[in-house]
Amino acid sequence: MSSHRRTETSRVYWLDALRGLAIIAVVMGHINIGLMQAGLTNKDPEFFRALHTLLYLVHMPLFAFLFGLNIPSAWEKRQSWAYAGLRIWLFLYLYLVWTLIQGSFEVFGARFSNGETSWFDVLNIVYPLAHLWYLPWMIVIYTTLILLKPWRSVARAMSSICLFSIISWISWGVDYPEFYRRGIAIAIFAVIGALIGTERVKNLDSVKSALLLPLALTVSIIFVVLISVANHLTIPTLLDAEITLESKILGMLVSCLGIVSLLLWGNLLSRSVRMSFLEVIGTYSLQIYLMHLLFTPTLRILLMKVGVQDPWIIGAVSLIGGVGLPFICATVFYRQTSWIFDLPRGKSYRAKHSTKYNIHQF
């Protein structure tokens, strides 16, 4: 176990905590969809629909932002296409391995969940299964940002913002099936993250709490008000059959406000408390993301089989299992599972903002 651990002095702990919060929200989002599809939320459907909207407006845009945040400093430190190629190969390798794992799980579990996944669907890697679209998304966005290097000049920054704003606007609320277009709506957040960079985020530490706290409160209040009063908000990565100009504008605005709010509160809280649990979860966000859908639907089905129908009990157990079991696999059983989370005998990279463990993250 100790072979994959290294201490880092430049780690930005609260960014790991935000990543941990984001991955918990992702697991909750998938659990919530499963509960709704199983008809377990009929007693309070409005709450669960609102929770669905809230989670999907923030969690993947936040992941995209954090992904872009690390790219400039990591590239400028190395300026090596060998390093970039290693990251791209890692994401491709994980995509192929987990397409086989997730696909097999869906094919063999179809009779228990009324699924329709076939072996043809598994082999047709142009169309990602379930949540695995984020792996080729990272390849496309990472390669594009390395080529454009928008952080190097104002002209590059402005042209990148304009280009990806248009792409995200067109794609917001559309669920493209192909891997090179799936989730492209959140690309703008990765671009913004790359323009800001980890070093600028660190500058928040120098801003006085007396200035940061009112700003965080203001942004959060606007966020809550928009969530509360809007009739409909379009989320970025799923098809919205009721999309309107207003719902799209408000959806994009709420996503931006959510990320800003979490960044501000994350920095403020880090000054008075160490969010160790979220930091550790964030360190293993990639493993949890890849593996959680093997456990959450299984736990829901098993609980329903034994007569449990309460969505809160099922949701709580599924959340604990969906986060905890992948974490155990990636830590306690690291030697046995390393090949499904990392390149076999591969050379590892470390994100610029650093983590305690030398593993691969979003």
Write the pLDDT tens digit of every residue in 305-334: 999 999 999 999 999 999 999 999 999 999
pLDDT score at 303: 96
Q: pLDDT averaged over the chain?
A: 90
**Whether pTM exceeds 0.95:** no
pLDDT score at 250: 97
Amino acid 313 reads I
pLDDT score at 354: 38
pLDDT above 50 for 358: no
Tell me the average pLDDT across 244-270: 96
pLDDT band of residue 7 (cuts 50, 70, 90) is very low
pLDDT score at 361: 54
pLDDT score at 350: 41
Specify the DSSP class assigned to residue 5. Answer: B
What is the rounded CA–CA span in Å between residue 91 and residue 341?
10
pLDDT score at 188: 97
pLDDT above 90 for 357: no
Domain residue spans of the chain:
2-340
Per-residue model confidence as pLDDT tens digits over 48-98? 999 999 999 999 999 999 999 999 999 999 888 999 999 999 999 999 999
pLDDT score at 260: 97
pLDDT band of residue 114 (cuts 50, 70, 90) is low
CB atoms within 10 A of CB 295: 20
- The values of phi and psi at residue 5, to 5°, are -115, 135
8 Å CB contact between 293 and 266? no
8 Å CB contact between 283 and 355? yes
Q: Residue 183: left (phi > 0), alpha (psi -120 to 50), or beta?
A: left
pLDDT score at 9: 47
Tell me the average pLDDT across 173-177: 94
In this prediction, what percent of the chain has a pLDDT beyond 70?
92
Dihedral, 258, 260, 262, 268 alpha carbons, nearest 10:
-150
